[in-house]
Amino acid sequence: MVYVRQEYLPNLRQYKYSSVDHSLLSKYVLKPFYTNVVIKCFPMSIAPNLITLTGFMFVVANFLTLLWYNPTLDQDCPIWVYYSWAAGLFLYQTFDAVDGTQARRTHQSGPLGELFDHGVDALNTSLEVLLFAGSQNMGQGWKTVATLFASLLTFYVQTWDEYHTKTLTLGIVNGPVEGILVLVGVYALTGFLGGAHFWQQSMLRTIGVPQTLGALQIPSSFYELSFTEWYMVQGALMLVYNTVESARNVIRARRARGDRSRYALLGLVPFFFTWTLVVLYLALQPNILHNHLVPFVLFAGIVNAYSVGQMITAHLVKLDYPYWNVLVLPLAWGVADSLGPWLQQHAPAPLDWLGWPSALGGGVYQVAFMFCMLGMAVGVYGSFVVDVIVTICDYLDIWCLTIKHPYVEGRDGDKSMQINSGNKKKQ
């Protein structure tokens, strides 16, 4: 399948990466560390995209240890596992940030780098949700699903914002900087405190806050909230704030260009439609929710990564906004198949004819179908990634993971080579 037609490829030469990072931690601590220390560890011969991919491998290694020691997301792991998760995520963040510096100093900046970088970040999002759930003993249930929803929505909205404003905007407190460092601290603390069970205690009781303060008594439902639940409350507040800020950015940018803002807001509909199906499917299939949530999270993460990849590609080659995601089809079929028996059991007597029998049932065939959805998602997203990368590389005469045209100072045509043979972007 062709994802980018040849007539749109000349738009790649008009690409110019634009970003604004308002994070004070990034400006005064991390960026000096990356540019003055870390970058010196990488030779000039290594491609920026290879640095990105190498950093992602640390997260993959973390995920494999999760599957080995805590596949149900509700067991304590050996202490060293949590420290390895902290180290792996910090290395991922470092490699993901330093690849931009490597791109600039090797003169390899270009549109492929943005696509590659965002694609890796999108895959990392769902993996980190599972790792966080494992670090909190959240188990397979709605809390993990809610965390996944918040994480994927944050990434989707950020990419939607960039598509319309043409600038990647990171706030004073943002996920790629402070969010990741908070997770690093959580993983390290989990190891230091002896395991994930610690976070399931009442936070207020554990830190010594009395339930009765003079004439004021804190309600038990509020007082008994665990550390994990307080973290989710904080995450929900940040999600609302960042979503509203991104919507305001998009509205301002479109109005400045004389475009109608309401059409841009329609770009959020595909995400919420997909997640309506996700919630319905899991509610109708509690066996998947409570016993096979890990592979389903991977499926949902790839669905989101595919949507994000389509947005980035459309941004690079100036295509219309991508509203359609073919991976929604099997999910919709799964919901329809599961809804029939539910209607048969719960529809009022005059409407009990609305139901229909399930083709899959709720047992092994349903689980097999869920794994088939995951396999389809891997196949579709994999074909998209390969096709787009190969197309861009062929057109710009570059390689993805190695430097095809090394920069040589003073060589004729350096400026055009700098523009046309790029394979990385970033700040």
208 by DSSP, 3-state: which?
coil
356 by DSSP, 3-state: which?
coil
Strand-pair partners of 202: 226
Q: Annotated catalytic residue: which of 107, 118, 164, 405?
A: 118
Distance CA 311, CA 322 (A): 6
Distance CA 8, CA 60 (A): 34
Cβ neighbours, 10 Å, residue 202: 17
Q: What are phi and psi of 329, to 5 degrees?
A: -60, -50
Distance CA 277, CA 304 (A): 13
- Tell me the CA end-to-end span of the chain in Å, nearest whole number: 33
216 by DSSP, 3-state: which?
strand
DSSP state of 360: S
What type of residue is 215?
A: A
Of 160, 158, 167, the residue nearest 264 (C-alpha): 160
Active site residue 197: no
Distance CA 96, CA 383 (A): 24
Distance CA 160, CA 261 (A): 13
CB 102 within 8 A of CB 42: yes
Residue-wise burial string across 289-313, b where 16 or more C-beta atoms lie within 10 A, e elsewhere: beebbbebbbbbbbbbbbbbbbbbb
Distance CA 356, CA 31 (A): 59
Q: What are phi and psi of 261, to 5 degrees?
A: -75, -30
CB 85 within 8 A of CB 131: yes
User: Residue 260 is encoded by which pair of tokens?
Assistant: 């109608």
Catalytic residues: 118
